[in-house]
Amino acid sequence: MFRNLLAEMSRNKITRRDIANCLGVSEKTARNYINGASKISWYDTLKIKNTFFPELSLEYLFETKKIS
């Protein structure tokens, strides 16, 4: 799960539908990407960042916390 991405989406009122439309995928696929149920491509992470969050880093948006 990309918690920072979800937080920024909420702050900026960006929906999963907005992400899906940007990527040209279904809402279910976008939800699976965001929740970590499916792997997202490098290209798609860049597209999300450049479209919605140009001022934020990829590292921040797509950070994952490893559970020890």
Give the domain CATH number at 46.
Answer: 1.10.260
Q: What share of the chain in percent tops pLDDT 70? A: 96
pLDDT digits (tens, 9 = 90+) for 36-66: 899 999 999 999 999 999 999 999 999 987 6
- Residue 31 belongs to a domain: yes
Domain of residue 7 covers 3-61
Query: Which residues lie closer than 8 Å to 25 by C-beta, 6 or more apart?
Result: 33
- Residue 68 belongs to a domain: no
Task: Record the pTM.
Answer: 0.88
Query: Which residues lie closer than 8 Å to 28 by C-beta, 6 or more apart?
Result: none
Q: Is 68's pLDDT higher than 60? A: no
- Residue 57 belongs to a domain: yes
The per-residue pLDDT for 13 is 98
Alpha helices of 1-68 — where are they, by DSSP H? 3-11, 16-23, 27-35, 42-52, 58-61
- Residue 22 belongs to a domain: yes
